[in-house]
Amino acid sequence: MTSTYETLLSRLQVAFDAVEPGADPVLRTSDRGDYQANGVMALAKRLGRVPREVADEIVSVAQLGDVADVEIAGPGFLNLTLRPSFLDEQLRTLALDPRLGIVAATSPKRVIIDYSAPNVAKEMHVGHLRSTVIGDALARMNCFAGNDVIARNHVGDWGTPFGMLIEHLLDLGEDQAAAALSIGDLDGFYKEARVKFDADDAFKERSRARVVALQSGDAETLRLWHILVNQSIAYFSEVYSKLDVTLKESDVVGESAYNEMLEGVVRDLDELGLLVESEGALCVFPPGFQNREGDPLPLIVRKSDDGFGYAASDLAALRDRVATLHGDELLYVVGAPQAQHLEMVFAVARLANWLPDTVRCEQVVFGNVLGPDHKMLKSRGGETVKLVRLVDEAIERAYVILDDRGTELDGDEKFHLAEQIARAAIKYADLSTERQHDYVFDLDRMIAFEGDTGPYLQYAHARLRSIFRRLGEAWEPGDAHFALEAKAERELALGLVALPEAFTSSLSSLQPHRLCTYLFDVAQRFTSFYDACPVLSAEGALREERLALCDLTARTLQLGLSVLGIEAPERM
């Protein structure tokens, strides 16, 4: 189907084209009319004509009669008010479309999303929250848009710390170590190893020898390393299911997966004449990157000790994603502190011709999660906060809220609902913040049923569903018309027809907060509507027409939340 916005745009475009081919009508939603086209002024200026005359010409050419009434305002704004018959028709078509007007891509892109990426034998902490939540939303939105999504969980599973971790594992005994790791006390394990490494020279020596054995592919060492990796991955999977995140174990393609390709990366960069030796390390100096003193910055591909750096595996991964996986879009949902690193990786990949201009390659940067003191969120002891801890606290809080609201649920049902509310609170607070911005992790605000929160949207949805429960009989959109008489009805309807554009702009800009803003707006429009317009106590056709609005609103909220990775419970 053609969305309301597109219908208006195409009609206007014909008229603008007639005045000047390709002129942009600059169409947007407006609080003056339903939509406003602001393109006349710029067009008139270019042609040296009087704007009002150009506006008259456009209005007389544009075939808008069956769609909207047009009024020319001010210097030449076109205010468009939709004809009720057209709005009704649009809504009826939407109601019969399970995709609610969001058209699936006809030529799907392959989108490779690098997200979450925790480190083996280390706890998932609040720093991984945003990457995980934003990455998951982008994965789901791309899937829904009909694209072919490949998730890449680029876990940190290689490097010098593994020497001491393996030795510690041996000291504990394999079974004992596996048990310690399986309860999710990754940080405890890591810290114990670190303490011994710093205090015990013999341990330090063993650890160093173990790193060498690991790098040279010693089978027994690799077996022990696998225990660490597998335990951690099992633990990460538990965290993902707790967060209701779609990442699977098969999406884990960690740093070590690229080991075999690293020699090739170095060789090829060398053949291209891009490698420079600097203080014993092999580096590339991509043009345009300088430190504070103005000296060129190196991307270190091989360190002076012959080990490969973090950059090498990122280069190998990028090359693999283009050449082997044939990605059309490479997204890196990675925090702002790594912006320079990634920009340099992308720059080197371009220099080496591994990254053609036809591939969109972007870091999806995000800001920090702050504590109440507006500093980086820390636990009371000043340590990083475990991700599971945050979710558990939110679940506990949701329990209290459900009790306060006098829920009739108990047992598993109550727990499940508390989980859904907790996840919605955390994810929505994250996604609704403009991603480059920091935000304060304030559970009370995030989990409130009022305000711009996940639970508010869930609650609006649940209220809608309860209308249909109380109706007591199955209701299908069928050939129902939509109630559009009252102001609040019209406003709600106008919100509903805008879903396709909200979704598309959110996805193409990689800004999930745009879809959040849209959904919050729809929920508010629904709240106003529900205050002003009784549904079940309305009579005859009006009741059906209001039910049609309610049904489409519920489905809009449900779909919008689901592509963001937020569940919409039937009752709350």
Rank residues 114 and 501 by Cβ distance to ligand ARG and give the closer one.
Answer: 114
Judged by CB under 6 A, the residue of 140, 154, 319, 386 near ligand ARG is 154
What is the Cα–Cα distance from 534 to 537, expressed in whole angstroms? 6
- Give the one residue of 114, 136, 167, 452 binding ligand ARG; rule: CB under 6 A: 114
In angstroms, what is the minimal distance from the CB of 165 to ligand ARG?
Answer: 15
Tell the smallest beta-carbon distance from residue 318 to ligand ARG (Å). Answer: 9
* Closest approach of ligand ARG to the CB of residue 124, in Å: 9
Q: Mask 244-263, x = binds ligand ARG (CB under 6 A)?
A: --------------------
Cβ atoms 333, 113 nearer than 8 A: yes
**CA–CA separation, 362 and 435 (whole Å):** 14
Q: Which residues of 400-421 are buried (b: 16+ CB within 10 A; e: fewer)?
A: ebbeeeebeeeeeebeebbbbb
**Region from 113-121, 228-236, 244-252, 544-552 binding ligand ARG, contact rule CB under 6 A:** 113-121
Name the residue with the smallest CB distance to ligand ARG.
117
- b/e per residue 350-388 (b: at least 16 CB within 10 A): ebbebbeeebebebbbbebbbbeeeeebeeeeeebbbbb
Asked whether 360 and 113 are in contact (CB, 8 A), the reply is: no
For residues 163 and 197, what is the distance between their CA atoms, to the nearest angstrom? 10
Residues 63-91 as b/e (b if ≥16 CB within 10 A, e otherwise) read ebeebbebebeeebbbbbbbeeebbbbbb
Whichever of 271 and 362 has its CB closer to ligand ARG, that residue is 362
Nearer to ligand ARG, 430 or 545 (CB): 430
Q: Applying CB under 6 A, which part among 110-118, 163-171, 409-417, 482-490 lies near ligand ARG?
A: 110-118
**What is the helix (H) or strand (E) element at residue 37, kind and residue range?**
strand 35-37
Query: Among the candidate windows 115-123, 160-168, 242-250, 286-294, which touches ligand ARG by CB under 6 A?
Result: 115-123
Q: How far is the CB of 114 from ligand ARG (least distance, A)?
A: 5
Looking at beta carbons only, is 167 or 255 nearer to ligand ARG?
Answer: 255
CB of 160 to ligand ARG, least distance (A): 15
- Give Cβ neighbours of residue 396 (< 8 Å, ≥ 6 apart): none
- CB-based burial of residue 290 (10 Å sphere; 0-12 exposed, 13-18 middle, 19+ buried)? exposed
Are the C-beta atoms of 351 and 382 separated by less than 8 Å? no
Q: Smallest distance, Å, CB 257 to ligand ARG?
A: 12
Q: Say if strands 77-82 and 35-37 run parallel, antiparallel, or are unpaired.
A: antiparallel
Binding of residue 123 to ligand ARG (CB under 6 A): no
Strand order in the sheet with 329-332: 148-152, 110-114, 329-332, 360-363
Kindly give the interhelix angle for 310-323 and 339-351, rounded to the nearest 10 degrees. 50
Exactly one of 156, 159, 286, 454 binds ligand ARG (CB under 6 A); that residue is 156
How many beta carbons lie within 10 A of that of residue 557, not counting itself? 23
Between 144 and 158, whose beta carbon lies closer to ligand ARG? 158
Fill in the per-residue mask, 480 to 509: x = in contact with ligand ARG (CB under 6 A), - = not in contact.
------------------------------
DSSP-derived secondary structure letter, 406 = T
Which C-beta is closer to ligand ARG: that of 76 or that of 118? 118
Q: How many CA atoms lie within 13 A of 440 on its CB side?
A: 8
Q: Binders of ligand ARG: how many residues, by CB under 6 A?
A: 9
CA–CA gap between residue 533 and residue 488 (Å, rounded): 8
Stretch that binds ligand ARG, among 116-124, 231-239, 496-504, 517-525 (CB under 6 A): 116-124
Least separation in angstroms between residue 298's CB and ligand ARG is 18
CB 334, min distance to ligand ARG, A: 4
Smallest distance from the beta carbon of 252 to ligand ARG, in angstroms?
12
The distance of closest approach from Cβ of residue 129 to ligand ARG in the complex, given in angstroms and rounded to an integer, is: 12
Helices (H), 325-472: 339-351, 387-404, 411-431, 443-446, 454-471
Residue from 117, 145, 315, 519 touching ligand ARG (CB under 6 A): that is: 117
Q: Tell me whether residue 316 or residue 480 sits nearer to ligand ARG (CB atom).
A: 316
Residues 300-359 that bind ligand ARG (CB under 6 A): 314, 332, 334
Task: Tell me the C-alpha distance between 23 and 38, whole Å.
Answer: 11
Of 101-109, 112-120, 381-389, 409-417, the window that binds ligand ARG (rule: CB under 6 A) is: 112-120
When asked if residue 119 is in the footprint of ligand ARG (CB under 6 A), the reply is yes
Say if residues 107 and 144 touch (Cβ distance below 8 Å): no
Window 37-66: residues binding ligand ARG (CB under 6 A): none
CA–CA separation, 390 and 50 (whole Å): 61
Shortest separation between residue 128's beta carbon and ligand ARG, angstroms:
6
Residues near ligand ARG (CB under 6 A) are 114, 117-119, 154, 156, 314, 332, 334
